[in-house]
Amino acid sequence: MVANGADGVVAGRAVPGHWESDLVFGRGMSPVVTLVERSTRYLMLVGLPDGHRAELVADALVAAITTLPRQPTRSLGFTTPSEALNEALR
């Protein structure tokens, strides 16, 4: 499920399991994906050594979330969603 953060439950941060992600570029244009759980504000940083194409970002997000202890993942929103990334996640 992909949410844009407009839902009141997601925006309120009261219910765990809602995640927000962003793509950040460091020095030398090295891409990193941030993944933040909105309720606990738990942060994961995931490096993208092979680039930031949509399918690579989607694979990195799935790999990061599956390393966590079993818990419901209710939504994943993007600070700046791209059509290509949304298509890769369908």
pLDDT tens readout for residues 16-49: 788 888 888 888 888 999 998 888 898 999 999 9
How do residues 61-87 score in pLDDT, each as one tens digit? 889 988 887 777 777 777 766 654 555
Residue in 78, 85, 82, 80 with CA at minimum distance from that of residue 3: 78
Give the domain ranges of the chain: 8-89
Beta strands in 1-90 (DSSP E): 18-25, 31-37, 43-47, 75-78
* 32 backbone dihedrals φ, ψ, rounded to 5°: -135, 135
Write the class of the CATH domain 8-89.
alpha beta
Residue 16: what pLDDT?
A: 76
What is the pLDDT of the chain when averaged over all its residues?
77
Residue 67: what pLDDT?
A: 87
